[in-house]
């Protein structure tokens, strides 16, 4: 368990270091911390809303997952990195997850282009 936690920490630290200094702001740091927390919760429970803190923040599992995928997209994480996190969901489906990623990426682009 300890090695696995270290591996997860290393993954996120390496991801963080790939960002330029300008992108490593406090505005982005909270996002990476939130993604870490949600990824750990998904791995531990299989559902985000089984974590009491996440359940207080989001009304349902869908909204928690939307929040997570949008944060990951805003951070510039690849589809493979997003799938690696969502694979821990008890109801993981590769095709449905990819549709979810593509749909939210499109919506995010629409919002950012306004």
CA dist., res. 53 & res. 100, Å (int): 24
Q: The pTM is what?
A: 0.77
In the prediction, which pLDDT does 29 show?
81
**Confidence category of residue 112, pLDDT binned at 50, 70, 90:** confident
- Overall average pLDDT of the 89-100 stretch: 97
In the prediction, which pLDDT does 98 show?
97
- DSSP summary character for residue 24: -
CA dist., res. 89 & res. 101, Å (int): 15
Structure tokens at 7: 């591996």
Long-range contacts: 16-21, Cβ < 8 Å, 24+? 19/76
Domain count, the chain: 1
Structure tokens at 31: 């996002």
pLDDT per residue as tens digits for the range 33-91: 899 999 999 999 999 999 999 999 998 999 999 999 999 999 999 999 999 999 999 99
Domain that holds residue 12: 2-112
């Amino acid at each position: 368990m300890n090695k696995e936690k270290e591996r997860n920490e290393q993954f996120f630290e390496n991801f963080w270091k790939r960002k330029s200094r300008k992108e490593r702001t406090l505005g982005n740091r909270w996002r990476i911390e939130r993604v870490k927390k949600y990824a750990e919760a998904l791995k531990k429970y299989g559902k985000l809303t089984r974590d009491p803190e996440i359940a207080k923040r989001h009304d349902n599992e869908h909204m928690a997952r939307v929040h997570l995928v949008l944060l990951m997209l805003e951070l510039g994480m690849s589809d493979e990195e997003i799938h690696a996190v969502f694979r821990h969901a008890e109801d993981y489906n590769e095709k449905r997850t990819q549709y979810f990623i593509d749909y939210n990426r499109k919506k995010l682009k629409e919002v950012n282009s306004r």
